[in-house]
Amino acid sequence: MAWVDNPIVGFLKENAQRFHHPHDDALVVGIRVGDYNTHWVLVDNGSFANILYYLAFQQMRIERERLIPTNASLVRFRGTKVYPFGVVTLPVTVGDYPWQITKDVTFVVVDCSSAYNAILGRPTLNSWKAVMSTYHLMIKFPIEYGVGEMHGDQVAARECYIKKRVFAQERNRAIAEEVRKLQDAEFIKEVYYPDWLANIVMVKKANRKWRMCVDSKDLNKACPKESLMSWQAGGAGIVLHSSEGDKIKCMVRLDFPTANNEAEYEALVAGLDLAKATKAISMVVYYNSQVVTSQVNGDYECKSERMKKYLKQVKRWMVNLQAKFKQIPREENKQTNRFAKAASVEHMLILSEVLSFVQLSSLIEGIDVKEIGSNSN
């Protein structure tokens, strides 16, 4: 590659076409820190410091001895001070090869709640001579052979917005006390995992004490007398390919409580329904779920009553429709997974040229579907 002197850094209209507009989403990116691919990194040109949250620091297996003590303190949005554990300098790589750069970045390591793993602040952006556009959700920076790019992840930004929860002091004290009791009883111990495992939900009981619930997905089963909230909308993504080369893309928000396999059945029936609407008479269904595919093909037996009801509905939808079902790895079905993810976030993303629906009740309890908009012709 030839050396490029003083490359022009700018943004094009096409750079913004991959995102849903209008938006006010934060610029959340993925970078490589040391030997770790690090997601949920906020780019904040209003921050004077680069922040690495202690949980991410632990997950990177960095020795605590590498931290250099500092007397500086950080002031949070509400005016409270946070005192860092120290600072650490780590190599950071951004962009896609060969249009990337690797630079040493000094992070302030803090132990406080955050939806992000790290924050890239103004000093680093300036040292890279980087230009950011929140409209395009993109950063561009000069490199030896032209201009490198780092793209934001709009879905991740909205997921972080959902996860960004700061407990009140009363709840924090209750959480700390409950954890201390469990540790003293040797019922739990501190371990490090590379992935987020569970959510904590604090629920005030009738006696004014707090109940700390972990893994909110099954809160109502764990505490049937407490009448606790806890479900998140699911999503279904469908792509139909005709023999003539036409393509229909669709996503459905499942706006009701549903388990994983139930959501897989809901997605399957939505696809069959869409196929019948196009007057298809035969089709091959490529599906992620080994459980659902095997149950439909008769290789697995449905043991739960709910699964039997779902399978019965699938068979009913297949009347006058010849369908073969083949299970494929999830990585070979990325587009439908992306649609499902976009449909399930709190603020549903309406993607260009994708039919978008909200389903208000489950297949086995009666269908109520509303179309919410599409740019498709």
**Which of 112, 145, 163 is the C-terminal boundary of a domain?**
163
Q: What is the pLDDT of residue 125?
A: 94
What pLDDT, on the 0 to 100 scale, is given for residue 193?
A: 39
Instruction: Report yes or no on 8 lying in a domain.
Output: no
Cα-trace Rg, the chain: 24
DSSP state of 31: E
Dihedral (Cα; 361, 364, 370, 373), 10-degree rounding: 100
Q: Among 63, 56, 55, 15, which Cα is nearest to 39's?
A: 56
CATH at 149: 2.40.70.10
List the CATH number of the domain containing 282. 3.30.420.10
CA distance 35 to 50: 18
Q: Are residues 177 and 318 in the same domain?
A: no
How far is 354 from 250, CA to CA, in rounded Å?
Answer: 5
323 domain residue, yes or no: yes
Position 286 in a domain? yes
Q: Is residue 307 part of a domain?
A: yes
Task: Assess whether 32 and 133 both reside in one domain.
Answer: yes
Residue 183: the pLDDT is: 72
> For residue 120, what pLDDT is reported?
96
Domain match, 158 and 17 both: yes
Are 133 and 267 in the same domain? Answer: no
Total domains, the chain? 3
Mean pLDDT by 10 residues, the chain (377 residues): 64 82 88 90 91 91 90 67 90 87 94 89 93 92 87 84 57 70 71 46 64 52 43 80 85 81 86 84 85 86 84 85 85 82 73 79 61 44
Q: Which residue has the tokens 């050396």?
A: 3
Res 107: pLDDT: 95
Q: Which of 125, 52, 46, 53 is nearest to 90 (CA)?
A: 52
Instruction: Mark whether 238 and 302 lie in a shared domain.
Output: yes
CB 203 within 8 A of CB 227: no
Tokens of 13: 């209209």
- My answer on whether omega of the bond before 7 falls inside 30° of 0, hence cis, is no
Note the pLDDT of residue 191. 53
Q: Domain for residue 4, yes or no?
A: no
Query: Which string of DSSP letters, residue by residue, matches 204-269?
Result: E-TTS-EEEEE-GGGHHHH-TTT-------EEEEEEEE-TTS-EEEEEEEE-S---HHHHHHHHHH
321 and 307, same structural domain?
yes
Beta strands in the chain (DSSP E): 28-33, 36-43, 51-53, 74-75, 81-82, 86-96, 99-110, 118-120, 131-133, 138-143, 146-151, 200-204, 210-214, 234-241, 247-254, 282-287, 322-327, 355-359, 369-371
pTM beyond 0.75, yes or no: no
**What span, in angstroms and rounded, lies between the C-alpha atoms of 264 and 294?**
12
Q: For residues 86 and 177, state if they share a domain.
A: no
And the tokens for 346? Answer: 């709190």
Considering the domain architecture, whether residues 179 and 159 belong to the same structural domain is answered as: no
The predicted structure's pLDDT at residue 5: 63
Q: Do residues 283 and 335 both lie within one domain? A: yes
Name the residue range of residue 175's domain: 169-222
Among 116, 132, 163, the domain-final residue is: 163
Same domain, 126 and 206: no
Q: Are residues 149 and 197 in the same domain?
A: no
| 376 domain-assigned | no
Q: Are residues 36 and 76 in the same domain?
A: yes
Q: Does a structural domain hold residue 228?
A: no
